[in-house]
Amino acid sequence: LPDITPAGLSEQWSLSLNSKIRGLVFSRVYRFAFLPLGFCPRLFIRNMHLPNVESKLHWANGQLLEFMGGSSRALLRYNPTTYVLHLQVHGPEADVDSKQYNETIRMLRILVENIETTIEGWYECKVNVVIPCSHCLMEGNYSQWEFALEDCMESIARNQAFVLCRNVRKIRLDVLAPDLSLADLQDLHISFDDIEIGRAIGEGAFGVVCKGIYKGEAVAVKQLADDDYDEEESTEA
């Protein structure tokens, strides 16, 4: 892959910290203690094989992706000096086009899961994940407030609707992290009491997969990573 950022990137990616953003932007920042040279090529190639995702531009340390009909786009940029990977996904607001809004969240979820799966393939990679404030990004602020991924997951688990940017501005969690709050899957929510969760059958850096029973049928239950998770406390299904 070429080392130089493609000249057409600025034209194809309309998102700039110097301008207002029409629509919504979702973001993740992955800060690694160290990252092998082969990580980005592996991730970018995996992205090229995702369904309904097209790689518009790619180079050694970045990739521009388009989802389905072009309503949503994503930009990944990696800094090999600081071992930091940035992901931004840009799409329309829900009140502009609810279908495309849900597709944008879907793209975010697919890419985040692909990044997590790739990270888990490098067993020695330690990573700190933060979520930049969506309001700061939409305002074009150079300095974005950041929320720890674990804090957002805990807030969602406690059914909190908001977090505070700079301890002042309320930021909706379904806007900050719609993939975690399942903002596009409201019609598919079920009661936690209806699920029997059994033993863990798989564990990664960001979650645990357990055996489960839902309405008499065997299912797999993915739980977000929790330091308090104790396999002995679960009942084998």
Instruction: Provide the pLDDT for residue 147.
Output: 95
Average confidence score pLDDT of the chain: 81
Tokens in use for 1? 């892959």
150-200: pLDDT as tens digits: 999 889 888 888 999 987 889 999 889 988 887 655 555 677 788 888 888
Task: Look at residue 232 and tell me whether its pLDDT is greater than 60.
Answer: no
Q: Residue 29, by phi and psi: left (phi above 0), alpha (psi -120 to 50) or beta?
A: beta
Average pLDDT of the segment spanning 3-26: 68
pTM for this one? 0.77
Length of the chain measured in residues = 237
Side-chain-side CA neighbours of 99 within 13 Å: the count stands at 4
Task: Look at residue 129 and tell me whether its pLDDT is greater than 60.
Answer: yes
Select the more confidently predicted residue: 122 or 45.
Answer: 45
C-alpha 60/C-alpha 76 separation (Å) is 11
Instruction: Provide the pLDDT for residue 141.
Output: 63
Between the two ends of the chain, the Cα-to-Cα distance in Å is 48
Task: Look at residue 236 and tell me whether its pLDDT is greater than 50.
Answer: no
Select the more confidently predicted residue: 64 or 90.
Answer: 64
Confidence of residue 205 (pLDDT cuts 50, 70, 90): low
Helix (H) or strand (E) holding 171: strand 169-172
33-46: pLDDT as tens digits: 988 888 999 999 99
Which domains, and CATH codes, for the chain?
9-187 (3.30.310.200), 190-233 (3.30.200.20)
Instruction: Provide the pLDDT for residue 72.
Output: 85
Task: Look at residue 206 and tell me whether its pLDDT is greater than 70.
Answer: no
Is 222 labelled a binding residue? yes
Average pLDDT of the segment spanning 132-139: 83
Instruction: Provide the pLDDT for residue 128.
Output: 95
